[in-house]
Structure 1
């Protein structure tokens, strides 16, 4: 089965997610710089979530550049990932509206955990479909960044009920880990 439609659909869904998030940024009522001040939490929430969606798009793109063929299980695993990512605008709006209150920050972290798990499921599903000598399969065998990410997300969720701003630091520490595309896959692409 060709992977082209999966990639095009995923790109479209991610573009829509970003569009929905930016539409939640409303124009202020006043015309002074001061009238922008109440929008700062919403803008920061948008900025952080845009970064996350960009990281997922980038890594998804790299992953599928190395994939030769797909099957129905991969289609469903990809759709599972897109489902959790599609909830990002809700969580983004909630943390922005509440100025990063504890329950919204915990919910945001929970969404991040579910996105990370869904991405891991997608990688595992692809790895199972690849043949035994697959360089991609070897490249994604090490799960260090994935495991560290989930630990930091869960830690952030736990701490969000006491110090929500520290939880946000945990969440965005993970983003910094993933800003550079997955070198394991880039190396695989360069070898092919």
Structure 2
């Protein structure tokens, strides 16, 4: 089965999620910069969530760019990832509209951890399908960054119950780790092209 429908569906869902998040933003009640003050927490939560959704979209795109086919298992694993991503607007709104209380911040972290684990599952399904000598296997390697992100996210959830701002800081740290685009796929493709050219 080709990957085109999976990519098109995923792109559509992610575009809708971003649209839902931006529709959650209320327009300030005045025309002065100071009128943004009350909406600043919601706006900042939107920015963090937008970055997270963008990170998943770009990494999903990179991963699937070197996959040759998808299996039924990959379709379900992709839906699993989209499920967790679809909760991002809900957990973002709950967290930001309730003054970043511990329970909503922890729920946001649980959602982020669910996204990370679902991405890991999708990656594993695709790796099994592509094989150990595939471009994807070479690009992923040991995936230290992906594993570390999940551990940090779990730690952030636990820290939220100690101090909610610490938990949120960990979630932002994880986003910053991934904000710089992951070049593993691009480097692997470039190396493969060089070998073919020789």
**5 Å matches for 1:132-143?**
132-143=132-143
- Alpha-carbon separation, structure 1, partners of 2:127 and 2:110: 26
**Post-superposition CA distance 1:24-59 (Å, at most 9, x none):** 001123333332211000000000000000000010
- Alpha-carbon separation, structure 2, partners of 1:35 and 1:176: 29
2:83 corresponds to: 83
Q: Which shows bigger deviation, 28-37 or 107-116?
A: 28-37
Offset at 1:188? 1.8
2:16 corresponds to: 16
**5 Å matches for 1:1-192?**
1-190=1-190, 191-192=192-193
- Alpha-carbon separation, structure 2, partners of 1:189 and 1:100: 42
> May I ask how many residue pairs the two structures share in their alignment?
192
- Alpha-carbon separation, structure 2, partners of 1:148 and 1:132: 22
In the alignment, structure 1 segments of 5+ residues that lack a partner are: none
Offset at 1:151? 1.3
- Alpha-carbon separation, structure 1, partners of 2:172 and 2:139: 25
Kindly tell me: are residues 16 and 58 of structure 1, through their superposed partners in 2, closer, same or farther at Cα, counting changes over 3 Å? same
Give the TM-score of the pair, scaled to structure 1. Answer: 0.95
SS of corresponding position for 1:188: helix
Offset at 1:80? 0.5
Give the TM-score of the pair, scaled to structure 2. Answer: 0.93
Offset at 1:162? 2.0
SS of corresponding position for 2:152: helix
**Runs of 4 or more consecutive aligned structure 1 residues displaced over 3 Å after TM superposition:** none
**Post-superposition CA distance 1:121-180 (Å, at most 9, x none):** 000000000134212113223121111111111111111012111111111111111112
Q: Does the CA-based 8 Å contact 1:65-1:189 persist in structure 2? A: no
Query: Cα RMSD (Å) of the superposition?
Result: 1.2
SS of corresponding position for 1:35: helix
In the alignment, structure 2 segments of 5+ residues that lack a partner are: 194-198
SS of corresponding position for 1:69: coil
- Alpha-carbon separation, structure 2, partners of 1:187 and 1:82: 27
